[in-house]
Amino acid sequence: MVSQKTRADRGWREVVDTLEKKHQGKVFVFEKSVEEVLPKLRETFPRYACFVAQPMEATREFVARVHRLTRAFNDDPYPDCFWGILTGYDAANALRIANCREPLTVRKVASGTEVALDSCEEGVWYCELKAGKWVQKKQSGKPEQFQGPADSTEALAKTLTDYHADLFVTSGHATERDWQIGYAYRNGSFRCENGTLYGLNTEKQKFPIVSPNPKVYLPIGNCLMGHIDDTNAMALAFMNSGGVNQMIGYTVTSWYGYAGWGCLDMFVEQPGRFTFTEAFFANQVALINRLQNYFPDLASAELDANFRPKASITVSATASEAGLKAQDAVGLLYDRDTVALYGDPAWEARMADHPKAYEQTLTAANGKYTFEIKPNRGAESFKPVNTNGSQRGGRPFIAWLPHRVAEAKIVEGADLMPLIAPNFVLVPNPGDCDPAKTYRVVFTAKWVK
């Protein structure tokens, strides 16, 4: 999907042509509004949809409209395809991303906030809450804690320039122009200039960041890191000098956190299960399912320009029993359309396979599907792996179906309250795990070609 204006630009047309050839795809051009392509999307019902956009097209409003557009292929409230917005600091940067074919296995993780290194092959994180605290895990080793300088700017810059991390994770305060490294104490920052990242420590020392190895970026708790308001936006610099092929990012100030922090639950803490794209959309599905289950009257509510419901909020008995309040409803609605996925959604980046809290398998044969979850950690199997951040844990079990289905009928496991959508199966996370229980859903469905 591309605007007529962008398709007419020689450099950006090459980006579109590269994607078309790479994926044997179809190109849909719109003149004024991205919604113009909806009839063609409903007709083709693609599994992947890439929106090629110049930086000034990839606005906060555009991100929200793409979210809504890609939920409108049918009548259910869930995403109907995996999508991404492919942009860049300039056409050459976007073309580099479009040209990348080799899948990425994430082996090295670097972070400015606590991450579950037990789920990673190797990595390092620097604490945003306690000055000087950092934790490292080497290959085949266990995480070890160290004490270093309070200013971690240079060390974090080197995780990109020298360590060549495959995944970079950040949280804390941020704007479109900077990431403020320390959340609870004074530290340095990452900034950008002319499409180039650099670290600036508390002594005003500058550390240029040129890190060309392909990587993915999770600014899970940062405000505005996904907001592209002009070519000096941090997101564009991460794509340009930071080597980022795929990233998520809030286009607004972040306060609730479900759409951001949950990507750690899905991508890092279920290592190897989902691609980066799949993990983002699994978390989106979880968010929308939570909204549908506990605040169904608000799920289709009209929102104002600040992504808040115009109507008053009534908390149902079901939501109250789950400990949810009106703020949760507002937060889920606020997060739903405000986090972008940038990059080619069909490019595969996946965590190196590692032991998981539970296994899940989906098999299909002759119109019969079996989805089974097997605990690996006894009664703790379904508990949060890590609680750093906001809105962590409790995500449902989700598997992507190999093709679209219709007319699903539950044969076994109805007590698990499964949801069978056209492109996925979802089973709510009960929280408490009975290792002796069988967590299995069997259903029949018609294959939709």
- Tens-place pLDDT, residues 243-258: 999 999 999 999 999 9
Does 310 have pLDDT greater than 90?
no
**Cβ atoms < 10 Å from Cβ of 330:** 18
Q: What is the mean pLDDT of the chain?
A: 97
What is the pLDDT, as a whole number, of residue 78?
97
Confidence at residue 294, expressed as pLDDT on a 0 to 100 scale = 93
Q: Which of the four pLDDT bands, split at 50, 70 and 90, describes residue 390?
A: very high
Instruction: Give the Cα separation of 19 and 205 in Å (integer).
Output: 40
Give the percent of the chain with pLDDT over 90: 94
Find, among 248, 266, 220, 257, the residue nearest to 395 by Cα: 266
Would the pLDDT of 293 be above 90? yes
Range 378-403 average pLDDT: 97
pLDDT above 90: residue 70:
yes
If you write DSSP's letter for every residue of 143-206 in order, what string do you get? -EEEE--S--HHHHHHHHHTS--SEEE--SSB-SSEEES-SSS---EEEEETTEEEEE-TT--E
Q: How confident is the model at residue 172 (pLDDT cuts 50, 70, 90)?
A: very high
- Give the per-residue pLDDT at 23: 97
Placement of tokens 């804690």 in the chain = 145
Please indicate whether residue 366 or residue 333 has the higher confidence score (pLDDT): 333
With H, G, I as helix, E, B as strand and everything else as coil, classify residue 421.
coil
Q: Would you place residue 119 in the very low, low, confident or very high pLDDT band (cuts 50, 70, 90)? A: very high
Q: Quick one: pLDDT band at residue 142, thresholds 50, 70, 90?
A: very high
C-alpha distances in Å from residue 43, one per residue of 39, 46, 48, 393, 449: 6, 9, 14, 37, 12
Contact yes or no for 192/237 (Cβ under 8 A) = yes
Report domain extents, the chain. 2-99, 357-447
204-222: pLDDT as tens digits: 999 999 999 999 999 999 9
Indicate if the pLDDT at residue 357 is higher than 90: yes
Q: How far apart are CA 266 and CA 282, in angstroms?
A: 7
Quick check: 449 pLDDT over 80? no
Q: Is the pLDDT of residue 300 over 90?
A: no
Q: Please tell me the pTM assigned to this model.
A: 0.97
* Residue 191 buriedness (CB in 10 A; 0-12 / 13-18 / 19+): buried
How confident is the model over 83-104, as pLDDT tens digits? 999 999 999 999 999 999 999 9
- The pLDDT assigned to 313 comes to 85
Q: Which amino acid is at 148?
A: G
Q: Assign 434 a pLDDT band (cuts: 50, 70, 90).
A: very high
Confidence of residue 311 (pLDDT cuts 50, 70, 90): confident
Specify whether the CB–CB gap between 373 and 397 falls below 8 A: yes
